[in-house]
Chains A and B, each alone.
Chain A
Amino acid sequence: MEGAEARATRELIRRATPQRPVVFNGLRAFLVGGVICGVGQIFLRLYRGQGLPLREAATATSGTMILIGALLTGLGVYDRIGRQGGMGAFLPITGFANAIVSPAMEFKREGFILGVGARMFTVAGPVIVYATAVSVAVGAILWLLGRAG
C-alpha cells in the first residue's frame, strides 16, 4: 500500500490498537514481584535462624527460589503467574528458573541433545550473554578508575 490511502490506514490502525495498560501492569508487577521477594525474605530469615552466616543463607535462599520457580513451571503454574506479573515474575530468580525450565520441558520431545541441550537457553541465553558482557565492561571500568584514582 502506498500514498494517502496507506497513510490513512496506518493512522486508523494506530488509533484502533489498544496500548498496554502500563500503570496497571506496573502495579501488578510490583505486587507479584514483591510477593516473590517476600517469600525469598522468609527463607533467608529461616536459614539465618538456623545459624547460617548471611552469605551462605543468601546462596541457600537463591537455590530454594530456583527450585520453587522450576517446580511451579513444571506444574504449569508459573506461566499463569507471569501472565499477571509480567516483569515482576520474570525478573526475580524464579523467573530465570522458568526461562530455563520451560524450553527444557518444551523441547524434551526433540531429544536430550538437539532438544533439551541445544534449546535450554533459547530464552535465558541473551540474558546470560549480555549480563556477562556488561559485568566484564563494568569490571574493566572499575579497574581503570581504580588505577586512575
Chain B
Amino acid sequence: MTTVKDYSNDVENEWCPGCGNFGILKAIKKALSDLDKMPHEVLMCSGIGQAGKLPHYLKCNIFNGLHGRAIPVATAAKIANHNLTVIAVGGDGDMYGEGGNHFVHNIRRNPDITMIAHDNQIYGLTKGQASPTSDIGMKTKLQPHGVVNSPFNPLSVAISLGCSFVSRGFAGDVDHLSKIIGQAIDHKGFSLVDILQPCVTFNKLNTFKWYRERVYKLEETDHDPYNQTRAFEKALEWGEKIPTGIFYRTDENNSTFKDMRGLTPTPLAYLDEDIDISTLVKEFT
C-alpha cells in the first residue's frame, strides 16, 4: 500500500507561511496514496506561479513548463503514454488567463487527465494584481479603482462545454478536497478541480474566514451531479453561499481522446515496431 509518506520529499518549500497551497498539497498526496498510485506512475505538469511549483514538493515525475501551458503538455504526455496518471496543476492566472484557450479546447479533446486550479482570485508571484476570477470591486495597485471586468467562471464554462467531471474544493477542508481530487483522478476523461485557495499575503477579501462562512457541500444537498442544467445553475451560485463538491459528471457515453482516436494498447512512447515505407514510396512512382 502506498502511503502519504511515499510522496514526501525534502525540497525546500517557497510558499508563504499559512498559504492555502499547503492544504492543496496535502490533499493531493492523500488522494494519490488513497488510490494506491506509486510516485513513478504519476506525472504532474505545471505552469508558472506559486501553484506551478507544487509538483516539486511531492515525489512524482514532473514537467514544470511555461506559464499557461500545463494542459497541452499534460494532454500530449497522456497521449504518448496513457499508462501514466497525468495531472495538470496551476493557478487561476495560469489556467484561466494565459492558458484559457487550452482549458476550453482540451475539454473538447477530453483526454483522461485531471486539471487542478489553485483559484485564489489574485496574482501572487507578480505581487498582487487582479486575476481572471477576481471579484468586481477588488482594489489592487494595478486596479486602483477596483476590478470592473466580470469574473471568469471556470465551472459554468466547463459545464457548458460538457466537461465530463466538474468540481470545486476548498483548501481549508483537506479531507473533503482530497476525496474530490481522488474521484477526479479516478474519473475517465478530463476532470476539473477548481480550488478556493486563500492567499494570505495579497487577497484580503477572500480569506479563510470569508470562505468558511460561505462554503457548503453539494453532496449534503439533493444536488444531482448527472444533471447538466442543475449543475450549471449551481455553478452560477456565488456570494452568501458558495457550493463545493462535484457539480457535474458524465460517466456514461463519455468518450475520451483515447477511445475516440483508437490509441494502441501499448503506449506510443513504447512502440518500437519495424517501419516499412516501401508501399508509401511506390505511390509516388
Q: Do A and B share a complex?
A: no
Interface residues of B (CB under 8 A from A): none
